[in-house]
Amino acid sequence: MPVPLNVLDLAPLVAGGDVRDALTRTLDLARRAEQFGYHRYWVAEHHFTPGVAGAQPALLLGQIAAVTDHIRLGSGAVQTGFQTALSIVEQFGLIDALYPGRFDLGLGRSGQAARSGERTFFPETPDEERVVDGLLIPKHFSWAPIFASQRSQLIGSLLQQPGAQSQPLGEILDQIEALLAGPYGDGEGNEVRAVPGEGADLTIWLLGSSGGESARTAGARGLPFVANYHVAPAKILEAVRAYRESFVPSASLREPYLMVSADVLVAEDDVTARRLAAPYALWVRSIRSGLGAVPFPSIEEAEAYEWTDTDRELVADRVSTQFVGSPQTVAEGLETLRRVTGADELLITTIAHSHADRVRSYELLAKEWLI
């Protein structure tokens, strides 16, 4: 049996569209993904990003649950650096009460590692493009200058209360797990209960883009882990290795359980797919410039853009690791990704200017992979 395919949706805006249009497309894609046989449908959390409407995962997941029947829903990922454990548990406890047993609580560190200057867990990892057993591992892209920018500091100031500090990942996980199990006590006889939240049937995942704290914490706690090839392809093997080497069996998981993400665009043939994917590089450039993703450009906008060598270098790792082509071409590439990483599931994110092209990409891949 092929490993399950899952959807990661950013709720992207497209050039000429608006937030309502983006969210309407998300609801339609979720219904279609369920029909096509995808196992999970996850949504991301991004803030102050002009081209992405997915700022509040729990709110959006509640809307998706209302228009789907059985596909498992989740967050990829809630940004733990900007919320308390209680707010996260209450949000997901509420939607679980309405649609019980369907939700994955995916958690991430929201760029804290990059902001703190955390070093790689495996400093010997080569920082140069290479191919490992057929899988392209590009040069690493550093986010440090972007996170050090004044715009990034402004964003951080608006995402937290004045003077607030992000909790360590292990600490907020302890609180989330304790609140879900309930009641939550202080050790001196005082107890509180999270309502909604206590007793919610949620599966906790951690997501990470390196071999740093998220990967190691997921392993040490015996939690399932998502390694982000689509965000940081240069660090994928490091992230997988850190998770597996840190893994300790838990009550819910006896062996490591790994999902790996990938950027994908499928069309009937390779030539058509490459044309539909042309705006992707321009979209990545907007992210890497530090201003946040723009609404996804049209093909005509992408073809008219005059690229510089600096531009190309800025996006090279993401463009070279996007899986683009016919169903067979992409399926072969994803099978290589699965084989090299040992992934138990794959998490697919696809963006196209045309909603019909985006839906068709997911449909073609599902027919090639799942049937």
pLDDT in tens, 159-171: 989 989 899 999 9
CB 13 within 8 A of CB 7: no
pLDDT at 66 over 50: yes
Please, which pLDDT band fits residue 119 given cuts at 50, 70 and 90?
Answer: very low
The mean predicted confidence, pLDDT, of the chain is 94
CA atoms of 368 and 352, how far apart (whole Å): 20
**What confidence score (pLDDT) does residue 4 get?**
98
From the candidate CATH numbers 3.20.20.30, 3.40.50.450, 3.40.50.720, 3.30.980.20, the one assigned to the domain spanning 5-370 = 3.20.20.30
Strand pairing report for 191-192 and 103-108: unpaired
**pLDDT tens for residues 273-292?**
999 999 999 999 999 999 89
Please, which pLDDT band fits residue 246 given cuts at 50, 70 and 90?
Answer: very high
Q: CA neighbours within 13 Å on the CB side: how many for 139?
A: 7
Residue 58 is classified by DSSP as H
CA atoms of 187 and 167, how far apart (whole Å): 20
The pTM assigned to this predicted structure is 0.95
What string of DSSP letters covers 328-357? Answer: HHHHHHHHHHHHHHT-SEEEEE---SSHHH
CB 346 within 8 A of CB 245: no
Per DSSP, the three-state class of 8 is strand
CA atoms of 317 and 325, how far apart (whole Å): 18
**pLDDT tens for residues 12-33?**
999 999 999 999 999 999 999 9
pLDDT at 116 over 90: no
What string of DSSP letters covers 150-172? Answer: HHHHHHHHHHS-TT--PPPHHHH
Task: Name which of 256, 266, 263 is nearest 228 in CA terms.
Answer: 263
Question: Which residues contact residue 170 at a Cβ distance below 8 angstroms, ignoring those fewer than 6 apart?
Answer: 217
Domain range summary for the chain, segments of one domain joined by +: 5-370
* Burial group, residue 24, by CB count within 10 angstroms (0-12, 13-18, 19+): middle
**What confidence score (pLDDT) does residue 143 get?**
85
Percent of the chain predicted with pLDDT > 90: 88
Q: What share of the chain is helix, strand, coil (3-state, %, to 5)?
A: 45, 15, 40
User: For the residues 231-248, what does the mean pLDDT come to?
Assistant: 98
**pLDDT tens for residues 181-216?**
999 999 899 999 999 999 999 999 999 999 999 999
**What confidence score (pLDDT) does residue 111 get?**
53
CA atoms of 161 and 164, how far apart (whole Å): 5
